[in-house]
Structure 1
Amino acid sequence: MRKIITVVVLFIAFFQSTTVVAQDLLKSTDLSMLKVDYLSDSDIAKIKTQLQTNNVTIEQAEPMALSKGMSATEFAKLKERLAMPATPSAVVKKDKNDSDSEDSATDKEDAFGRKQEKIVNTKVKDSLNALVFGSELFDTPTLNFEPNLKLATPMNYILGPGDELQVSVYGVQEFNASIPVSIEGKVTIQYVGQIAVSGMTIEAATQKIRAAIAGVYSTVRSGQSQVSVNLTRIRTIRVTLIGSKQPGNYSISSLATVYNALFLGGGPGKNGSYRNIELIRNNKVFTKVDIYDFLVNGDQSSNVGLKDNDVIRIPAYNQRVTVEGQVKRPGIFEMKTGETFEDLLSFASGFNEFAYTASVNVLQKTDREFKVRDIKASEYGTYKPLSGDVFRVTKILNRFENRIKIDGAVFRPDTYSFYEGMRISDLVLKADGLKEDAYTNRARIIRLQSDLTTEIVNVNLAKALSGDLEADVALKKEDVVTVYSILDFVDEFKITIDGEIKKPGIYDYYENLTLNDLLVEAGGLTGSASKRVEIARMIQSETIDDSNPNKAELFNIEITATNNEQAKNFALRPFDVVNIRKMAVYEKPEMVTVSGAVHYAGKYVLAGKKDRVYDVIQRAGGLTSVANVEGVRIKRPIQAKQIEDLENVNLNLGKKDSIQNKLEKKLKEDLKYATIPVDWKSIVKNPKSNTNVTLFPGDEIEVVPFNEGVKVTGNVLLTSEIPYDPSKGFRYYLNAAGGIDAKGWKKKAYIIYPNGKADVAGSFLFIRSYPRVVPGSQIIVPEKPEVKKMTAGEWVGIGSVISSLALLILTAFK
């Protein structure tokens, strides 16, 4: 009794531990006792929820589970269960004699309501037979030969325990029930009784059930009601696989076939046959299955249906051979007795497009050693491969048996077929003849000799094409004929034109090219072109004339500047340089801008070569009443040449010095113009004053409106604008802005006047003087430069040096 209690407690503890582990897969420390087959659908759902909550995929959880003791087989089962879609439970009426295993089985249901127990098998990649032809058939999940439940029930389907029938009476009387076939092979229909149907076809069972119901329902007997019998649940049967990669007993659908069972078993094992698989029924070989019939011809005649207790035996193969090289499907193939190399070639899908098909090399094994044999094409239908043969199909040679080539000055340069007796005139004719520029005095043949060295054969094409048999040499295969062009021997001459022309540049020279031709080709003369044209021509001589210092001959000619067609059409020569001169006076009107407090602001043309500030402001109506007479300035754009000059100046600051780089960057990016201050009062008194500067095109004269404030910025406590007080000086405005902050450099404070001029504070004999302040000025206090303070270590070092020097001096004077 005590032993029984111990066993019961252990059994309960086992299931409880399995449930707990299942509900806490990630947190559990020991998964060695987890059995996936004992997990319910709710346990699987909890594991899914747990993985989703922790954002962990089943692939990421695999190393964690294996490290906690879970076997690879159990994890594969768990992965399969998690991948199955959740299905709502269906209420199915079952016979009280149905087994508990069937009650707990997971069913799958098609669109028509027919159900089948879910068949699950963990697939293992076939690495042992990877090269064997046919092994890939059992590694493809989509090709599992699973029976289709949506098809009509076969009329010869044999009923047995586990099947379920839908029996319906419709018409005047109605009855509907799902009735399972019991273990005794009977169905129990209400008011009708038990009817034995096991071993009967669905058609025969339908007739028997209809007759039994007719005995109870009078309307069925009279034809007023009809009876239908449908198979709604298909039973599972057990078959045994021997010699497969995963041998064992399998529960599969009663509609399953041999191929479906082979797929579940993973196909033949390491040494299993693919061509002599035996289906054993009632202890006798019912049929033999050759998978190659399906793979090569698509023939499934041997894919017969299975019955309960069938045995599928996969014996060891008799002979296998290997095919390598240039076939469409290389690999290892199983051969039957009597099959030839032609059959093997069909298994390999034949030669590919690069195969050498005249013969095949085969490596054979004897009782003691290897031997090599060549099989000619005539023996393909008679040679019978031996076990262990290795057939090697090589590539064709990378050479041509009848190639000949012609290129150069022919209409169709290409590669052509060669035939014995072909001459060079025949090849030229194949290439549609010579071009007009062909050089007929000589053609070249590069010929490959018998020792694979090359030689050159020269041909007079003119004689060869005129019928001279001696000149019309015979060709050989692999000859390369080159026909030269006379254009290959002509120099490529150029001519240059520059100056007042729309498209200056270098142009090709042609015979009889004239100045008029070149002017038109270069787009014609510009409006600023003068009548003067200079043409430079190179001097050519067979001897050196030391008395002539000239490098070129110059021609000065006059043209009609308004006409591209000149009356005197000057003939040009190769490498001439033509320069079209510009008119002596041809300048487009250039403008300056006047803005600010003037009567007529806007753009003004510089009428004179030396227009000054005063002149242009007077043209703009003079200053307005609100103008600041001390706020007249000129903004002059910085020219690209100024930046270039700065880049070319060496400030001796070293390569890539930051000071010069910052200065160049400031001119290019920050400062778009330079400011020129103007003393308007001096100009009014004396227009010839040096501050009355000459204007350049693009200048902008800016007259600032009068402003009574003085702006204080920089390193002050409060940036502000202080009202102007004529009785106050520079320091007053600094103090009015709150004074200098901690970083301010007071002695370097400066002022910018309204006209752009600047002034800085100075000192003489310890007396500091500050610049005067006018309305509209801006006072700026810069920041002190950072000074690196000496560290304590540096002070100690200096003290040590001074001590050493003092000691040396004392020693020297002793």
Structure 2
Amino acid sequence: MRKLQAYFIAASAVFFSLTSYAANFSAAQIAQFKQLSPSQQQTLAKEYGVDLSTLVGDGSGSGSSDDVHPQTITPRNVNSPSHKQSAQRKKPGQLIDFGYDLFAGQPSSYTPVDDLPVPNNYLIAPGDEIDIQLFGAKNVSYQLDVQRNGSIQFPELGPIHVAGLTFRELKNNLNNRIKKQILGVDTAISLGSLRTMQVYVSGDVYQPGAYNIPSLATVTQALIAAGGFRKTGSLRHIIVRRNHKIIDRLDLYNLLLKGETKHDIRLQSGDTVFVEAKGPEVSISGQIRRPAVYEIKAGETLGELIKSAGGSKADAYLQQVEIKRFAEDGVHVLTANAENAQGLDLKLHPGDKVRLKKVSDQLQNAVIVRGAVTRQGAYEFHQGMRISDLFTSGADDLLENTDQSYALVVREIDAQHHIKVLQFNLGDALKGAQNPQDLTLDNRDQIFVFSNNLNTKAWRETKASAASDKQNGSNQSNHQTHQIDPTTGVQLVKDNGPQANLFTPNGDDQQDSGPFSRQVLLKPIIQRLREQAVNGHAVQLYEISGSVPYPGTYPLVEGATARDAIAAAGGLLESAAKDQAELTRAVVMPGKVSLNHARFDLAKIMNGTGSNFALQSKDSIDIQRKTNWTIDNTVQIQGEVRHPGTYTIGQGETIADLVARAGGLTQYAYPQGAVFSRAVLRAQEQQHMKMLAANLRQEIASLALRRQTTDAQYTTSPTEALKVVNDLNSTSAIGRLVINLPQILRGREDSDVMLENGDKLYIPPRRNTISVMGQVQMPSNFTFNPSKSVQQYIDMAGGEKKQADDERVYVIRANGSVMLPNQSYWFMRSSHPLESGDTIVVPIDTDYLDGLSTLSTATRILYQMGIAWKAVN
């Protein structure tokens, strides 16, 4: 900040000294003034009464012949069609002209280079400033300007002619003269501010004209001062003229590509820099390090172009470089081998378009390992390679949950990339010693290794409690994330700590959906086998279902047997009936397919005493379950029972059995309000709510349309109806089944319900309340009084609203059933129809709904669900 203030004060002094004749400013003074901010320039001009345009305008003021008049330069329009190269922004697939963006910028009549060191051969001329410091017997400093006559005015020595001397000669001459005439002093001589000089920049540059540039400036600095090149200008043909003679030629490609500055010479006053029109150009794209459009000279070759473009990328296919060449009869395509001298020496023609293609992504001389291993990826292939060569140690090379009983080799068998599949036992293969499972590999084989996560039905069958299932299932979480290797396409694994379980429950079973599961890894293999089953080729797939950990579709491997199919599916579950299994085989006949079913003894196949039959295309194996195998079915009972919790049930158990196993009801239980829910009903109820919401939304749309096309008055607000739609969409279904628990507990078999897996029973505590809901003034809860009637409770809630339908009032019992007062003797006063926990609902009048008939059904469902949630909570 202090430096800026000092500079401003100095500039003010210079400015003040010039106000006597503002038109005669030197280039150095103008340049110094221009270093100030616009606001500082305006402040100085206003303070001293000088027209700012005389300093930064068109420079029309008179001055000495050595001063260059500053030009009026408009800001550069980078979007102008003729100057797009000045600020090229590369679009996808667009090639830029090489080198032009380096010199693009705003023209400037002054380019300061005060920080450059002054060479000893620098010629002193008028306008330079010489700094002289004397020390010793006398300490003083001088800043002496070289006058127009070429001399400096030394205070104690008088005028000394210095113009035409080199900087080295100046220092020697002044040092000798000062020491002779002033005794006892030493000198330190340097150059201060350097003169500016006038040069001309012409040709295909952005702003041709005369420019004030420092005396040390070179050709490239003059070009930058002129704003760089037009798109039509040549970077390779730049001429420097001095005294009407060509003194040098500059090819900027030598500077840009090689760093050579030999021809970037220092200019002198009066020099002219001329940029010729652009010469022939070619483009190069594809797998090249610096794709662009390049200007070429006559005789340049393909090899020189590739070198100018930075060389080819590692994945470039140099044996077939594509060259599109314009000819009289159209575009010809040439192919050059850039790996030999003949191809590199190919002469380029104007307009050639060179493209380096990419090598094939197919891995050569490699095998790929995918799945539940610690190091997925490609491995170098060698003749005689076996499975055991890929895994030195099962403990180090395999994940903890790797299934070692089932693994696959996928092998391409022809040029069309058709595949066949081999199956092997990974655990046996790792034993080595010429084990038959240690398969010999071919080039480009892919080995698939699968996970064997224990959170499956096989694991569940060893547990007696669903609660412990959930606890142990969470402990089997796979703490890994996965990425795809961009080179090999292999899925890579990374440990990220605890995460959610990768297996999603689906009813009774657990789905095998981990990252290295059969479901995930087999999917592309099965898809390829389906696609190649054409032209009479049978699809090489089979199915296995039933009591196996991983039922599904599997590749039909060479020589596959029933035992191989069971190994592929993870073995047999404990629930498997080993004496009962079924094979379904498709027999293809002309014009039709016949299915044959055959039973076989599974136990004999597994122990080797029976016929291990071979599998065929489209075979289906069903491993049947043992009779009454339901040890994994669980239900929950909560609320007012002596021992609430989760219970494993057998086939045929009922609600009465469950309550008895839970120790019976407590003294606070209210069995009339029991809530019983079932998973299948919950799904049906959720679907019904979605249909109601959709129907109601359609009715609302129809109502809105009627209101736009008629002058009739409607009373229902669509906003109220839409709120019901939102409630239907956001409310979770309960799946409640209305039961009469008191009758069940009294032994009424016709009221009892047989339990299913996932059922839930909740017995609430007794609540001595009556609720009034719907179209009443103040929906409320009241203490139950058996002597009060339905109407009396409605009156206690403020009475019905205007839109209420008082003829259709109904009561929702605590058990979820619905009763109508005007149709049932239960509501006769003498029979005490109301009971503790009942809810009185006053519905909205159908006429008031303007035809929204679905709205009353939707609100009734929401009321019933609300009552159930209220009981549970």
Q: When the two structures are superposed, what TM-score results if normalisation uses the length of structure 1?
A: 0.51
* Superposition deviation, residue 230 in structure 1: 0.9
Partner of 1:734: helix, strand, or coil? helix
Which moved further from structure 2: 771-780 or 690-699? 690-699
1:27-426 → structure 2 map (5 Å cutoff): 44-45=38-39, 127=82, 139-140=103-104, 148-214=113-179, 217-220=182-185, 226-239=186-199, 248-257=209-218, 260-261=221-222, 264=225, 277=239, 279-281=241-243, 285=245, 288-292=247-251, 305-308=266-269, 310=270, 312=272, 342=299
* Superposition deviation, residue 229 in structure 1: 1.3
| C-alpha contact (below 8 Å) 1:519/1:564 kept by paired residues | no
1:615-635 CA distance string (max 9 Å, x none): 544444443333336x34241
1:501-580 → structure 2 map (5 Å cutoff): 501-505=548-552, 515-516=562-563, 518-520=565-567, 522-530=569-577, 532-533=579-580, 555-558=598-601, 560=603, 564-569=606-611, 571-572=613-614, 574=616, 578-580=621-623
| C-alpha contact (below 8 Å) 1:244/1:265 kept by paired residues | no
The 3 A distance-change label for structure 1 pair 254 and 702 is: closer
1-structure distance, mates of 2:582, 2:756 = 35
Partner of 2:38: helix, strand, or coil? helix
- Aligned residue number for residue 782 of structure 1: 843
1:148-189 CA distance string (max 9 Å, x none): 544432333333332212111123431123222334443334
2-structure distance, mates of 1:526, 1:556 = 19
| C-alpha contact (below 8 Å) 1:704/1:754 kept by paired residues | no
2-structure distance, mates of 1:511, 1:41 = 84
The 3 A distance-change label for structure 1 pair 713 and 391 is: closer
2-structure distance, mates of 1:355, 1:514 = 49
- Aligned residue number for residue 797 of structure 2: 737
| C-alpha contact (below 8 Å) 1:288/1:302 kept by paired residues | no
Partner of 1:218: helix, strand, or coil? coil
Structure 1 position 727 matched with structure 2 position 787: yes
2-structure distance, mates of 1:361, 1:143 = 37
One-letter code aligned to 1:609 = G
| C-alpha contact (below 8 Å) 1:751/1:760 kept by paired residues | yes
* Superposition deviation, residue 679 in structure 1: 5.8
* Superposition deviation, residue 392 in structure 1: 7.7
1-structure distance, mates of 2:276, 2:139 = 58
| C-alpha contact (below 8 Å) 2:684/2:735 kept by paired residues | no
2-structure distance, mates of 1:218, 1:492 = 111
1:764-775 → structure 2 map (5 Å cutoff): 772-775=833-836
1:766-813 CA distance string (max 9 Å, x none): x998982222322222333464779xxxxxxxxxxxxxxxxxxxxxxx
One-letter code aligned to 1:637 = R
* Superposition deviation, residue 517 in structure 1: 5.4
Partner of 1:206: helix, strand, or coil? helix
2-structure distance, mates of 1:121, 1:572 = 87
- Aligned residue number for residue 71 of structure 1: none
2-structure distance, mates of 1:356, 1:510 = 43
One-letter code aligned to 1:673 = G
* Superposition deviation, residue 688 in structure 1: 3.4
- Aligned residue number for residue 817 of structure 2: 757
1:261-293 CA distance string (max 9 Å, x none): 566567999999997957344xx74x5333359
1-structure distance, mates of 2:31, 2:673 = 98
* Superposition deviation, residue 637 in structure 1: 1.0
One-letter code aligned to 2:575 = S
Q: Percent identity?
A: 19
1-structure distance, mates of 2:198, 2:574 = 104
User: Structure 2: which 5+ runs fail to align?
Assistant: 1-29, 44-52, 86-96, 286-290, 310-317, 329-348, 358-364, 367-382, 384-413, 416-534, 701-723, 852-873
The 3 A distance-change label for structure 1 pair 585 and 601 is: closer
2-structure distance, mates of 1:268, 1:645 = 71
* Superposition deviation, residue 739 in structure 1: 2.0
1:70-125 CA distance string (max 9 Å, x none): xxxx9xx899xxxxxxxxxxxxxxxxxxx99999999xxxxxxxxxxx99998799
| C-alpha contact (below 8 Å) 1:134/1:295 kept by paired residues | no
The 3 A distance-change label for structure 1 pair 393 and 781 is: closer
1:433-489 CA distance string (max 9 Å, x none): xxxxxxxxxx99xxxxxxxxxxxxxxxxxxxxxxxxxxxxxxxxxxxxxxxxxxx99
2-structure distance, mates of 1:491, 1:267 = 70
Partner of 2:738: helix, strand, or coil? strand
Q: Once superposed, what is the RMSD of the aligned Cα atoms?
A: 6.5
One-letter code aligned to 1:761 = P
The 3 A distance-change label for structure 1 pair 101 and 119 is: farther
Partner of 1:564: helix, strand, or coil? helix
1-structure distance, mates of 2:633, 2:98 = 90
* Superposition deviation, residue 227 in structure 1: 0.6
User: Structure 1: which 5+ runs fail to align?
Assistant: 1-35, 50-73, 80-98, 107-117, 221-225, 335-340, 364-389, 399-410, 413-431, 433-442, 445-487, 545-549, 791-814
* Superposition deviation, residue 38 in structure 1: 14
1:32-69 CA distance string (max 9 Å, x none): xxxx99997778127999xxxxxxxxxxxxxxxxxxxx
- Aligned residue number for residue 584 of structure 1: 627
One-letter code aligned to 1:719 = P
Aligned residues: 553
Structure 1 position 636 matched with structure 2 position 677: yes
